[in-house]
Structure 1
């Protein structure tokens, strides 16, 4: 089929115009409240879904305690050595991940329920700068602290249990700091409650 004179140029012009429109659309998303814009876009920013599987690990198969150190968003250092004798919940998240937004109120409710029993909760944020993380916490009423892990050091140290990109993932650590249970993907509140109860009673 012969190309009409100027047809190739016309197609290039159309493609260039479409690219310009797309660029304007992306530029419009850059604003002072990235959380709200990402939530509205619903694109999940490269979210790779976990399958929602739940794994519990028998005490004899839990291996060595988790070893990590990092800083909270407020600059306070935190270390796994501080968790000795405590059941600890670690939730890996970032603001633009839709399942993270869904489960945030459940995690906060469980934190409020179990904090009197000494259970610790920490978020591990794998992508966000402080303003974005804080906007998320305000939006969803999250009051437990989060570690800033944009450099991926904590995630890298936990790849045995947390596949890179498979966020959210939630871990329950026993009183010796070993992983007792894992939820890969968005969590069910009643399931996480049962896992925490089971780990407390062990």
Structure 2
């Protein structure tokens, strides 16, 4: 029996390391900027790929329909502790900015629909959330704009559809409020 304990300890440590890497780790893809939040000057912005798909409510959603609005795009997973911690701040910011021409959209990835719906319900998230499941089709379209191996991440897309701000780390209400002000004023 004592010989089994090291194997169990090693397996437990490996599982813990994997779960930490999956949420806030530094996977090999798109590591640049992890842990940062940066504004992008108007002349240096690039168009964000248009995402479309099915929301957790079963509705069709196309980001192109929000052209002319500022869009806050948050990429999350229900299994991610940092995503869970930031969810109330995102909802708070959504409530504060929805009447100022700002649309929030979540992108749930690496979940099954039941997990994602339970997360949205538990966190009382009222803005639409696209469902990306294990296929990562939507996440892959954002290569170069966000990390493919790190969650959460938040992008602010300006009224022209260009990336104006990105956070490759958890955000809070103050982060979002400070970042949205200048983009809304443009």
- Pair in the same fold by TM > 0.5: yes
Q: What aligned pairs does 1:7-156 form with structure 2 within 5 A after superposition?
A: 14-15=3-4, 43-44=19-20, 46-49=22-25, 51-150=34-133, 151-156=135-140
Which segments of 5 or more consecutive residues in structure 1 lack a partner in the other structure? 1-9, 27-42
Aligned equivalents of 2:128 and 2:21: distance in 1?
23
Q: Which residue of 2 aligns with 1:199?
A: 183
- Compare 126-135 and 107-116 and name the one that shifted more: 126-135
> Using a 3 Å threshold, how does the CA distance of structure 1 residues 45 and 65 change in structure 2: closer, same or farther?
closer
Report the secondary structure of 2:184's partner residue.
helix
Report the secondary structure of 2:156's partner residue.
strand
Please give the per-residue CA displacement for 1:150-195, whole angstroms capped at 9, x wherever unaligned.
2111111101111112110000000011110001111132111111
Report the secondary structure of 1:193's partner residue.
helix
Aligned-residue CA RMSD (Å): 2.4
Which segments of 5 or more consecutive residues in structure 2 lack a partner in the other structure? 27-33
Alpha-carbon contact 2:46-2:162 (below 8 Å) kept: yes
Aligned equivalents of 1:122 and 1:144: distance in 2?
6
Aligned length: 171
Aligned equivalents of 1:94 and 1:63: distance in 2?
26
Deviation >6 Å, runs of 4+ = none
Instruction: Give the number of the structure whose alpha-carbon radius of gyration is greater.
Output: 1
Report the secondary structure of 2:91's partner residue.
helix
User: Residue 158 of structure 1 is aligned with which of 110, 117, 142?
Assistant: 142
Greater relative contact order (Cα < 8 A, sep 6+): 2
Aligned equivalents of 2:79 and 2:140: distance in 1?
21
Aligned equivalents of 2:51 and 2:82: distance in 1?
25
